[in-house]
């Protein structure tokens, strides 16, 4: 099928065998992608909504497949989770992000995404400590982003894990807030430093009387009562920026201030200070 080229190929509706075969190819390529140096991190600026100064960057994994080109993390992270490659991949992300961020200006933080699968590994706090120790990055400059998915496996284990991570001195953010199925009760029990309001609420919102604005307002109010910061994700336009700023989001992330970029570019932007 590969030899047939993309042009011919896309006219066929891939049957289950073909889909399974494609998937198998991707799986075996994913197993060796790290050692072949095909993975890298891109960093997206996080900006103070009022001063427009860069406060940190979110690390986002990038995989450039030798034949297929860039493969989206939304596509391969779930596969890595199923194959149990996520621990190895996640460890690499943590180590690389800490090592690269250690060369940024001292007030700039780095945020790393954690998969709920990674969160189940009892070794995670050790891996985080190692990444910090090896890089020399102070724990206060590392933020870990988890999603509501973490709370689907109820148990005390989750809260124990959060306790051990907080003990290290890192910051904790709740990612994609508002999109999950969990109740609000974990907000009461978990000492998040930050809530990241999902792009689906922000996208296209400009009218303070809209439903999305009402939802953002409620999330910001809740977060501020709980002494948590809020980041508006996926801000693309001036109108969206104006709205989330007016609604009191303290931080903003989105294409309006910068797409995910290579380490060198992130470092230069951080040194410059302002994303405007
Ligand atoms: P996420 O953590 O919610 O990351 C935000 C995603 O939105 C990123 O996509 C980012 O490039 C994109 N984005 C940022 N600003 C804008 C904007 O203004 N407009 C639009 N349309 N998109 C914007 P990306 O890099 O493709 O990552 C997708 C997801 O893959 C992430 O969603 C995260 O769940 C996962 N992911 C990425 N890197 C890692 C990683 O290192 N570890 C784990 N476990 N998951 C990761
Ligand atoms: Ca994230
Ligand atoms: Ca997010
Ligand atoms: Ca997301």
Q: Give nearest CA residue, ligand 1 atom 22.
A: 234
What's the gap in Å between 234 CA and the centre of ligand 4?
Answer: 9
The 3 state secondary structure assigned to the chain is CCCCHHHHHCCCCCCHHHHHHHHHHHHHHHHHHCCCCCEEEEEEEEEECCCCEEEEEEEEEEEEECCCEEECHHHHHHHHHHCCCHHHHHHHHHHHHHHHHCCCCCCCEEEEECCHHHHCCCCHHHHHHHHHHHHCCCHHHEEEEECHHHHHCCCHHHHHHHHHHHHHCCEEEEEEECCCCCCCHHHHHCCCCEEEECHHHHCCCCCCCCHHHHHHHHHHHHHHHCCCEEEECCCCCHHHHHHHHHCCCCEEECCCCCCCECHHHHHHHHHHCECC
User: Could you tell which of 60, 71, 78, 143 is best to mutate to test the pocket of ligand 1, judged by most ligand atoms within 8 Å of the CB?
Assistant: 60
Question: Is it the case that residue 89 has pLDDT exceeding 80?
Answer: yes
Question: Is any atom of ligand 1 closer than 6 Å to the C-beta of 115?
Answer: yes
Question: Is it the case that residue 137 has pLDDT exceeding 70?
Answer: yes
**Reported pTM:** 0.93
Per-residue pLDDT reduced to its tens digit, 39-75: 999 999 999 999 999 999 999 999 999 999 999 999 9
Per-residue pLDDT reduced to its tens digit, 147-197: 988 888 767 888 899 999 999 999 999 999 988 766 677 787 888 999 999
């Amino acid at each position: 099928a590969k030899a047939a080229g993309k042009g011919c190929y896309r006219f066929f509706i891939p049957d289950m065998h073909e889909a399974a075969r494609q998937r198998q190819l991707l799986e075996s390529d994913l197993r060796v992608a790290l050692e072949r140096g095909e993975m890298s991190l891109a960093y997206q600026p996080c900006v103070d909504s009022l001063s427009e100064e860069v406060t940190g960057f979110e690390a986002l994994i990038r995989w450039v497949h030798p034949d297929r080109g860039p493969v989206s993390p939304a596509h391969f992270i779930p596969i890595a989770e199923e194959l149990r490659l996520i621990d190895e991949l996640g460890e690499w992300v943590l180590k690389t992000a800490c090592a690269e961020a250690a060369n940024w200006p001292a007030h700039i933080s780095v945020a790393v995404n954690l998969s709920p699968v990674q969160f189940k590994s009892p070794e995670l706090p050790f891996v985080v400590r190692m990444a910090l120790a090896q890089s020399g990055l102070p724990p206060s400059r590392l933020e870990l982003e988890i999603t509501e998915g973490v709370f689907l496996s109820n148990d005390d284990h989750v809260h124990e894990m959060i306790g051990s991570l907080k003990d290290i001195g890192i910051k904790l953010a709740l990612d994609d807030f508002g999109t999950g199925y969990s109740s609000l009760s974990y907000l009461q029990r978990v000492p998040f430093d930050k809530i990241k309001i999902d792009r689906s609420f922000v996208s296209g919102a400009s009218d303070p009387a809209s439903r999305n604005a009402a939802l953002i307002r409620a999330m910001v109010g809740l977060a501020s009562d709980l002494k948590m910061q809020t980041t508006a994700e996926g801000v693309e336009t001036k109108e969206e920026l104006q709205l989330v700023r007016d609604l009191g989001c303290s931080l903003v992330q989105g294409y309006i201030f910068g797409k995910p970029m290579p380490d060198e570019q992130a470092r230069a932007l951080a040194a410059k200070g302002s994303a405007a």
